[in-house]
Chains A and B, each alone.
Chain A
């Protein structure tokens, strides 16, 4: 397939690996902060192609993984309401909450529907005017504009029975916090699809403030190896900066139209991340102007303070200080068919990626 096969060319990947070996002299740790990268890196076995002194670690880049149990618990309470239809991306449905999962509720008769796009959720709202249709909005800057577009469309079409429950988050506060907290990293493999929307501007502080480089990378093995090479070159030359490897998609200014939609519908608020806690201005909240479509405002619910599962290291793994294999439950008690923590559920989660490709 065009734009895929060329970037999976084995010869090029090996050539890049060779190049990295030749020029890298320092012991370095590079962090990827996108679940898609985590998956590719494990799937294509990239760590095994790198010299010993170059280590890759995963950060908080899997949206399902960083989402709080409270969010899941509230979604479950919503799903138990008679007149509610829950619409969600597939990743979320099997995530265990404190007392159930959406999947279990569905089996018990709740109306929970997996959609591929928020546009499908709008259709459901249109066809079921007597029901309240709640869309669970999770994801980073890549996914949030779709939620904004959905809310704008609902407003235009007068779909007063359509609501978004937003746990959307933005990446930069998490990337700063990891460094502030002293997690040992020497550079970031920047998230390609977040950057497609935001452009490179959001990372400019990282070289300036922390002296770390960021290379915005594509998702195929050639992309990732090239990005690693670019970071190695920066490190060898002591020249940290923001660079774009994924130029066929990421423009320096990003996608302005999507940014405008985001800004129209959302504003920043504090939000909780698994592993990192509450980070200032890291969440996207629906603006008052659109509160008629905000599930939290229109259908407020309360849940008991959530409990994290015992023994689960998901939080530490998301911070890059532990690896899935450090968890005693990994691949024994906790498997993709019986996930204990969120990191095993989504295929972008580190535990799931290790389970599938690197056990």
Chain B
């Protein structure tokens, strides 16, 4: 019920959009978001036939980048730990 999927906007016809998830297409109403801001190629979250939010690409990438940094930090800490046997978190 509360499941929603990130779908790519393929086509916009007024208030309605055709969106794709993998190889399947869905029709979704854009009336619940600021549809003037939605462009073909954007990702939206669809829930029961309505786009309920546009996905924020910057935020998505930013959080994935954090993981990279955090992996590096973790590795650095591991190396340090090997040397002095202590770990500060």
Binding site for B on A (CB under 8 A): 1-4, 6, 9, 11-12, 15, 18-19, 22-23, 34-36, 61-64, 89, 91, 116-120, 138-140, 142-143, 145-146, 149, 191, 193-194, 196-197, 219, 222, 226, 245, 247-251, 255, 257-258, 261, 346, 348
A6 to B60, CA, bound (A): 10
| A149-B31, A248-B60, A257-B33 given; A91·B48 CB < 8 A | no
Over the window 13-45 of chain B, the binary record of Cβ atoms lying under 8 Å from chain A Cβ atoms (1 yes, 0 no) is 000000001100000010111100000000101
Q: Is the CB of B33 within 8 A of A255?
A: yes
Q: Which residues of A contact B33 (CB under 8 A)?
A: 255, 257
| Cβ contact within 8 Å between A36 and B2 | yes
**CB closest residue in chain A, given B64:** A6
Task: Assess A255 versus B55: contact at CB under 8 Å? Given A118-B48, A193-B47, A196-B45.
Answer: no
Q: Which residues of B contact A64 (CB under 8 A)?
A: 1
- B50 touching A146, Cβ below 8 Å: yes
**Which A residues are in CB contact (< 8 Å) with B32?**
145-146, 149, 255, 257-258, 261
Cα of A64 to Cα of B33 in the assembled complex, Å: 26
- Residue from B2, B50, B87 in contact with A22 in the complex, judged by beta carbons closer than 8 Å: B87
A193 to B21, Cβ gap below 8 A?
no
Q: B1 contacts A3, CB within 8 Å?
A: no
- Chain A nearest CB from B7 CB (Å) reads 9
Known: A247-B63, A258-B32. A142 touches B55 (CB 8 A): no
Tally of chain B residues near chain A (CB < 8 A) = 35
State whether A149 and B29 are in contact (beta carbons under 8 Å apart), knowing that A35-B2, A193-B2 are contacts in the complex.
Answer: yes
What is B's interface to A at a CB cutoff of 8 Å? Answer: 1-4, 6, 8, 21-22, 29, 31-34, 43, 45, 47-50, 52-53, 55-57, 59-60, 62-64, 67, 70-71, 74, 87, 89
Residue on A with the closest CB to B49? Answer: A117
Bound Cα distance from A257 to B52, whole angstroms: 9
* Shortest Cβ gap from B30 to chain A (Å): 10
**Cα–Cα distance between A251 and B1 once the two chains are bound (Å):** 21
State the CA gap A11–B70 with chains docked (Å): 12
Q: Give 10 nearest A-B pairs by CB, closest first.
A: A117-B49, A248-B60, A3-B6, A247-B59, A248-B59, A36-B2, A63-B1, A258-B32, A146-B48, A193-B2
B56 touches A120 (CB 8 A): no
Distance between Cα atoms of A161 and B62 in the complex (Å): 49
Query: Which chain B residues lie closer than 8 Å to A248 at the CB level?
Result: 55-57, 59-60, 63
